[in-house]
Amino acid sequence: MSMLTVATTQMPCTWNLEHNLDQAEQLVREAAAQGAQVILLQELFATPYFCIEQHHKHLALAEEYAHSRVLKRFAALAGELGVVLPLSWYERAGNAYFNSLSVADADGRLLGVYRKTHIPNAIGYQEKEYFSPGDTGFRVWDTAFGRLGIGICWDQWFPETARCLALQGAEVLLFPTAIGSEPGAADLDSRDHWQMTMRGHAAANLLPVVAANRIGREVATTDPALQMSFYGSSFICNHKGRLLAEADRETPGVLLQALDLPSMREERLTWGIYRDRRPDMYGALLSLDGRHLDPRWTTQGV
């Protein structure tokens, strides 16, 4: 296709779960009414960010893929409006739990599951309590409006995520997110670093990036002293990392941007960054400690 109109969104979430879904639907309808074809909602938009604390009661929020009320509602919405919706939700699969995403295509079909690869663990971001590391591998999605590469939140900090999606032919990179203040580091504001990392992925891979983050203050259910303020700042940047649209830190709403995909593809070909890759030289990426896996290059005694 030629021009693609993408939208990113942001909103606060509360323990009024039905209200969260209603808010998300309203944002989708607003974006679609303005002409958006691919509309990104934030990570785990159906609930508060329950990973702020550790408590097994939150496992009850998980839904099976085939029976997810969230997925069914928003897949039907995608079909009604003729838009593509990447949908982040909490998945239960047998006795395993995942931070997962499915894409609802413009005809209302769900296109399968991606399970978040990188699972963080920090004060306020206790995701290892709730999610197993994803086992699907990175996925791209052929949709009515192009080939989309999608990672989830912590995935976005890893250049390997963006490059794997790019190598699979993604035309746009999308990242649903939940990030804000750091209860373990009160003076840290990661907003600019967060944006710059993804803008770097755009520039390095010559692909546009769309990011959606939540807003608002959320409080742990077990300890009111444990609070987080999510800083929004959802954005869209072009294939060279230039900001095209950016939300503020606290206002719910929608941002739209038209992207000239054929022109961006031509620039990728012109730069030759995929032509000139040397996968045979990247063996260190397959280890945790950076040692090259080819024994011819292993330091003696290591």
Active site (annotated) includes residue 43? yes
Active site (annotated) includes residue 240? no
- The active-site residue, picked from 43, 91, 127, 171, is 43
Active site (annotated) includes residue 116? yes
User: How far apart are alpha carbons 16 and 22 in whole angstroms?
Assistant: 10
- The active-site residue, picked from 13, 51, 153, 237, is 153
- The active-site residue, picked from 63, 91, 116, 127, is 116
User: How far apart are alpha carbons 161 and 153 in whole angstroms?
Assistant: 11
Please, are residues 207 and 167 in contact by the beta-carbon 8 Å criterion? no
- Residues tagged active-site: 43, 116, 153
